[in-house]
Amino acid sequence: MSNLNMRKKNSPIVWGVMGLLVLGLGGFGVTNFSGGARAIGAVGDRDITIRSYANALRQEMAAFGAQVGMQISFQQAQSVGIDASVRSQLVTMAALDNETERLGVSIGDSRVRDTLLGIAQFRGIDGKFDRDAYAFALKNEGLAEAEFEATVRDETARTLLQGAVVGGVIAPITLVDTLYANAAETRELSFVTLDPAAQAASLPMATPADLQNFYSENPALFTRPEAKRITYAKLMPDMLLDEVTVDEDALRELYDAQIDTFVQAERRLVERLAFASEADALAARARVDAGTASFDDLVAERDLSSADTDIGDVSAQDLGAAADAVFALSAPGIAGPAPSSFGPALYRVNGILAAQETSFDEARPELLREYSSDQARRLIENRMSGIDDLLAGGATLEELVTEAEMILGQIDFYDGSDDEMAAYSAFRAAANALTPDDFPAILTLDDGGIAAMRLDETLPAQLRPFDDVRDQVQDAWDATAITSALMAQAQAMKTALDQGAAPDSLTPPLQNLPAVRRDEGAGQIPQMLVQAGFGMNTGEVQVIDDGQRVHVLRLGAILPAPLPPAEGSAAADLRRRIESQMAQGVAQDVFGLFSTAVQNQAGISLDQAAINAVHAQFP
């Protein structure tokens, strides 16, 4: 079933006409196709014109390009099936047009007139239909009025036919009730997440023997994976700082370019509460001055929060006409009423940020570092072609040390390497792809440095010496000990609950949530606990280790969906949404079957030569 047609089912007829306007007025300018073909195919007696296919294809390519943030070529569009989708949509439209004609469905002139009057592109500056604008728009795109109005008739008739096919479709009540009962069913859950920090505070100190035993019993945790032993030569900006000549005028220009950073006017941390009128603002200020209401009280009375009133740290320039009142305060307090873009407002000053000015002399060390680093990167850029020539001529990495003043280094590289060179994304990518057959080549690093590398050998996985990983062993031992202690605590709580202890009588107590839905989580209770709870039996208790924390979860009761749901309740709204979604799904299926049937009955023919001719016009 065509997505285009289902969208039209749920939209006004004008939407459909506007879609046809895009097709008809797309300005594609398709001409000079081989053989003088006018259509790429037909369904029954209805042609699919070259113009409609070309402009629909262009429109869909533009829409897809907007989604991915780039202009796409026809080859890219074809690779994701856009051309096939457009042809399918146009075949469906042609089949419906053919069927409306066979059934004798016709639209009168008055209906066409009303549709045209509703199209904004045909209105004048007074908002009314402009006959000249209508004629000009069609003439500009080479369309006759009769041709376009025939298109409007087809679209309107097609919409009527579609409405007749799916208008009486309703969702199966049994299916709706089943889905509603599942979605609206709730659970009474009690849970607690045990605090690792509390266990860490009471954790016994690991002895050297404890750590050595843990290391021996968990070799996989401390085994270095297969690694590449890589030799590299590098040239970094900080290696060339001594060669940089400092230009004081350039430092001054750099300072001036960043003057907003070094010279900042006084700023204030401000909240703003706007009112509908000056009288309302004055009355609110009077209440604050009399001590009968605070600024927070005024905010709460409006059903707002501090996030709604906070405008951050602002300068006098930012505040405009309210600046004098706000900046007249010498300490935090209330200012106003004063103007704002939303009307008269009260301003609460929460803090005063003094003006800051960093002189050129004070900023010079920072400017010098920035300038020198930039110049050093330029020096490296100037040397890159020479180094590239050396490598192309067969120079080894060792020879680059003497001939290009680079530094030689070596790394055993694997995922997780903590060497400083492995911190560069370009180095990591090149190292991952490096093979014994690769010749060293220049790669540019994130900070403007360069490097070249060579694979010396592949090292098998190896257990790292205890002394090299002692800190990691300590951390892993601590984490394991904490988890073990938490699991023991959780199991003791589970035992107490199984024996009839009240959830709120334990230490720490379980939090009780009386009615949790399947889709709840990430708020009062983690979603994974909700999922576990909906798989438990009444009264069941589970200890859940999610790899980071340990939870104790108890299912108190299973609460079935209210049947029937009370009118106006959230449950009633949920059931209506399910019924609507199911009805739409059934309608789509019905219309899809109908569309397929009328296509098969009418017969489809496509002219591949004409289709190829359209495709050839796209870049």
C-alpha–C-alpha distance, residues 161 and 168, integer Å:
13
Q: What are phi and psi of 448, to 5 degrees?
A: 95, -5
**Are residues 370 and 349 both part of a single domain?**
no
Does residue 574 lie in a domain region? no
Return the DSSP state at 1: -
Domain count along the chain: 4
* Cβ atoms of residues 43 and 98 within 8 Å: yes
Would you put residue 27 in left (φ > 0), alpha (ψ -120 to 50) or beta? left
**Are residues 350 and 366 both part of a single domain?**
no
* CA quadruple 262, 267, 271, 276: dihedral, nearest 10: -110
Q: Is the pLDDT higher at 112 or at 445?
A: 445
Does residue 522 lie in a domain region? yes
**Are residues 42 and 67 both part of a single domain?**
yes
**Are residues 480 and 510 both part of a single domain?**
yes
Does residue 12 lie in a domain region? yes
Ranked by mean pLDDT, the top range of 3-17, 103-117, 206-220, 239-253 is 206-220
Q: Is the pLDDT higher at 308 or at 429?
A: 429
Q: Which of 151, 128, 134, 121 is nearest to 55 (CA)?
A: 151
**Are residues 150 and 191 both part of a single domain?**
no
**Are residues 143 and 271 both part of a single domain?**
no
C-alpha–C-alpha distance, residues 206 and 213, integer Å:
11
CATH classification of the domain holding 196: 3.10.50
**Are residues 195 and 118 both part of a single domain?**
no
Q: Is the pTM of this model over 0.85?
A: no
Does residue 33 lie in a domain region? yes
Categorize the per-residue pLDDT at 34 as very low, low, confident or very high, splitting at 50, 70 and 90.
very low
Does residue 259 lie in a domain region? no
Categorize the per-residue pLDDT at 2 as very low, low, confident or very high, splitting at 50, 70 and 90.
very low
CATH classification of the domain holding 275: 3.10.50.40
Proportion of the chain above pLDDT 70, given as a percent: 93
**Are residues 30 and 140 both part of a single domain?**
yes
What was the pLDDT predicted at 429?
Answer: 93
Does residue 534 lie in a domain region? yes
Return the DSSP state at 465: P
User: What tokens does 556 get?
Assistant: 């108190």
**Are residues 133 and 25 both part of a single domain?**
yes
**Are residues 494 and 528 both part of a single domain?**
yes
* Range of the structural domain that residue 340 is part of: 266-354
Does residue 252 lie in a domain region? no
Does residue 221 lie in a domain region? no
Give the residue from 431, 460, 489 where a domain finishes. 460
Tokens 């859950």 locate to: 189
| Statement: residue 24 has pLDDT above 90 | no
**Are residues 16 and 131 both part of a single domain?**
yes
Ranked by mean pLDDT, the top range of 115-129, 151-165, 577-591 is 577-591
**Are residues 132 and 190 both part of a single domain?**
no
